[in-house]
Amino acid sequence: MENLFNNLDLKEVNRLNAGCCVEHLAITITEAEDNYLVATMPVDERTRQPFGVLHGGASCVLAESVGSIASNIILDSSKYYAVGLEINANHVRPVQSGIVKAKATSVHIGKSTHIWDIRITDERDKLVCISRLTMAIIRK
């Protein structure tokens, strides 16, 4: 598969996410290779539910963020932008603290939709959540 993220400046990508939900939850893009993008997010008071474990909604925000960022990076931003069309998530294991990592891998990159497989893992590389995200490609 081709490298979708050729010559990507991760600092610039993270700078573009300032002042939005991604920044509020301290989601950071950390790696871009071939057909995948990686982001991390802390498990802390911003992302835990009342029982002290990672909130499923925070996992969905992480998954949708990394997939959405990935889609928007590979589009010609002068002509198109991508928005979430559908997301699903299976929450496999609880996490109480630390950092979780989301790896979004392309499944389908089409003219009108992109589909991403997103695996969220804990610091021991154990699966926490598996998600599939479909992005709609919108002409400006």
Active site residues: 64
Structure tokens at 3: 């490298």
Pairing of strands 80-91, 28-33: unpaired
φ, ψ for residue 3, nearest 5 deg:
-80, 110
Sheet holding 36-43, edge to edge: 28-33, 36-43, 98-109, 113-121, 127-139, 80-91
Instruction: Provide the CB-side half-sphere exposure for 79 (13 A, CA).
Output: 5
